[in-house]
Amino acid sequence: AQKVTQAQTEISVVEKEDVTLDCVYETRDTTYYLFWYKQPPSGELVFLIRRNSFDEQNEISGRYSWNFQKSTSSFNFTITASQVVDSAVYFCALSEAGGNKLVFGAGTILRVKS
């Protein structure tokens, strides 16, 4: 069975602080895919990143970085120098194959105050 746990329900930071959103997953498959989505106050779901289980290389995209550790089944997301526009709900998700359903975590509400 697949499961994604985002233990942090809500995080509040002040602008320019770094913040890390945690994600822990469970799956029996050896091949799987991990995702992060952003849901701003307007409500849409915005794709941020996909990671394959066989690629543990960490990734950086501007102020965003992701740390994938198979040994701890974690796929954490760090925002450096946070901005008010980063305020949103962030979802981690897992899929066991291409074309398969996404299993979402409960989401973490990030509030960035100026």
Partner 1 sequence: EPEVTQTPSHQVTQMGQEVILRCVPISNHLYFYWYRQILGQKVEFLVSFYNNEISEKSEIFDDQFSVERPDGSNFTLKIRSTKLEDSAMYFCASSEKYEQFFGPGTRLTVL
Cα distances (angstroms) measured from residue 2 to each of 33, 39, 41, 72, 113:
12, 22, 28, 15, 34
The verdict on 38 binding partner 1 (CB under 8 A) reads no
Q: Which residue type sits at 11?
A: I
Write the interaction track for partner 1 spanning residues 12-31; mark x where CB under 8 A is met and - where it is not.
Answer: --------------------
CA separation for the pair 24, 47 (Å, rounded): 19
Residue 9's contacts (CB-CB under 8 Å, 6 or more residues apart) are: 106, 108, 109
CA separation for the pair 53, 56 (Å, rounded): 7
Chosen residue from 8, 50, 53, 78 binding partner 1 by CB under 8 A: 50
Tell me how far, at minimum, the Cβ of 18 lies from partner 1, in Å.
26
The verdict on 35 binding partner 1 (CB under 8 A) reads yes
- Positions 51 through 110 that interact with partner 1 (CB under 8 A): 91, 93, 95, 98-107
Residue ranges binding partner 1 (CB under 8 A): 33, 35, 37, 43-47, 50, 91, 93, 95, 98-107
